[in-house]
Structure 1
């Protein structure tokens, strides 16, 4: 029943709230408010998806930087060991 009544709302058909509540037993649901809530949740969901994508990209970039830093440390350590061998 909820889907049928929502379709009527989208198509622009209107009944009084009293007629709708008593006929379908929906406890007086305001479909315009429901529609606005669904749209708002959709917008928030879209923003969260964009933020998630940005965060995932940031994590990938930070991991690359960390790996590069570790490689530089290893190279520096290897050079220090080689220098120590040459000095001795």
Structure 2
């Protein structure tokens, strides 16, 4: 999951069926919008939301958006049951 400085999001090495995507920040909230033609995994997020697994704070199936708490204490986000960690540089080349 590569968050580009222009707000685009690219999946490499997996999840390419969600390309192209986008992202934006609203304070300490990271909002990921998945593209592609794959069905949005609403049932998964519905199950995870009460537990706030991986910083999950909400989702919008219609808009294909997933919201995460994303501040200095956030170690990872959980996307489709995979953990994505912050990195200064991408190693998924």
With the shorter chain as reference, the TM-score category is: under 0.3
- TM-score between both structures, scaled by the size of structure 2: 0.18
Please say which structure displays the higher CA radius of gyration: 1
Larger fraction in helix: 1
